[in-house]
Chains A and B, each alone.
Chain A
Amino acid sequence: MNYFFFRLVVTLNGTQPACTECQYTRTGTCNLDNTGCDCYTNYTGYLCRQVIPENPLQSSPIQGQNWTIIVAVVSSVAGLLLIISLVMFVFYCISKRRQSTTITKPPITRPQFTIPRAHLPTMGTVSRELNSWDGFSLDNTYDEQFVDASDSFPSSSSTSYNTTYRMSGNRPEADFGIFDELENRTPMPKGHIPRPQMVDMLGTLNSFPTLDQFDEPSGETSVFSDSRDLDEIELVTDMLEDMTKDDDIEDEFVEALNPNLAIPRLSLEPDTQSLSWFSVCSILQIYIFTNQFFLF
């Protein structure tokens, strides 16, 4: 009868009553006289063509439960936040009231620091009454009310600074000859240091305590009492003095003269202008290193 497995194929031999519609649509069955249909549940109307709408909550109880759960969670969180905020506000009010009642803070007094008025020193030889206002001089007549006694100079004090500039009176002419002399002086040859200057410097270096002064106060002879070391120092000093005659001696030569020395060098070669100063510093370091070497 059925030619197709998945189809409801019926063989009709004649006209069919209208109630067969509800049978084929499975919404009801034909009544006894085939005038109508006895509808199944949720179907009604003529030939059971109308579907009774189901209750949405009953049809999807899980969805309704989800809505109730969401509403409950949100309301609980909101209520919790509200409670926390209220509690914090209450505690804040209580703490503030306690502070206002128990603790009476003294008024904050900040020390005021005042900068003392600068007082220009005056010439001791010029009396204060002679300082007349001439339009170009600094008048400190009324400074007494501002000047602290600690930093004020007495009138009898004489300073080397003349703070009063006077346009009138006998003004000694400024002698700028020294600048001209400095400008006209022939520049020093590069790499050479004036001998008197170097002799003075070496004299200063030689004035350092000698080895004899390192002896112990108890009279015991120290390790520095060796006369040979003293001679070596004098030898080095003389050698350095000889080197000052011509400062173009290379550092390697100095180190070759005394293998115990190591002249510190910069990584970059110094320019010719600073070569003389570098040489002087090297000599000083040589002497100091020599002393240290002998001290050890």
Chain B
Amino acid sequence: MVALNVPLNVTQRIQLSNQIFSQNITYNDSYSLNGLQINLNPATPNSRKTETASVL
């Protein structure tokens, strides 16, 4: 699980997830990217500092 301390809106979160999938970002070669869990609730304020993105 990787915690990002960056305020993002829904559009930016989708772009972030797409870049993670496109670049196949992994911690090392022992890991493979199967899925990404991200909060896409638009009601979440942008000022929220902590967003959680877990890498499965």
Question: A residues near B, CB below 8 A?
Answer: 3-4, 6-16, 18, 20-21, 24-26, 47
Contacts and interface: CB of A to CB of B under 8 A. Distances in A.
Contacts of A8: 39-42
A16 B39 CA distance: 14
B11 interface: yes
Contacts of A26: 42
Chain A contact residues: helix, strand, loop or mixed: loop
A25 B36 contact: no
B37 A3 contact: yes
Given A9-B41, A12-B37, A13-B36, 9 more contacts: A6-B41, A9-B40, A11-B36, A14-B21, A15-B17, A24-B10, A25-B10, A25-B42, A47-B11
A6 B41 CA distance: 9
Interface of B: 10-11, 14, 17-18, 21-22, 34-42, 44, 54, 56
B40 A10 contact: yes
23 contacts: A7-B39, A7-B44, A8-B39, A8-B40, A8-B41, A9-B37, A9-B38, A9-B41, A10-B40, A11-B36, A11-B37, A11-B56, A12-B17, A12-B36, A14-B21, A16-B17, A16-B18, A20-B14, A24-B10, A24-B40, A24-B41, A24-B42, A47-B11
Contacts of B11: 21, 47
Question: Which of A11, A12, A18, A26 counts the most B-chain CB atoms under 10 A from its CB?
Answer: A12
Contacts of B39: 4, 7-9
Contacts of A10: 37-38, 40
Contact of A16 (B14, B34, B37, B54): B14
B42 A15 contact: no
